[in-house]
Amino acid sequence: MAKVKLNPIVEQLRGQVGELVFRRTFGKVVVGRKADTEGREPSPGQLEVRDRFREAALYGRVALANPATKKLYADAADKKGKPVFSMVMADFLNAPSIDEIDVSEYTGAQGSPISIRTEDDFMIDRVTVNISDVNGAQLENGDAALDPNGRWVYAATSTVPAGTDVRITVTATDRPGSAVVRDTDKSL
Q: pTM of this prediction?
A: 0.75
Do 129 and 151 reside in the same domain of the chain? yes
Domain count, the chain: 3
115-161 pLDDT, tens digit per residue, is: 999 999 889 999 999 999 988 899 999 999 999 998 999 999 999 98
Quick: pLDDT tens for 167-180.
999 999 999 999 99
101, 129: one domain:
yes
Burial class of residue 21 in the structure, from the number of CB atoms within 10 Å of its CB (0-12 exposed, 13-18 middle, 19+ buried): middle
Same domain, 28 and 101: no
For residues 119 and 177, state if they share a domain. yes
Segments forming the whole domain that contains residue 73: 41-93
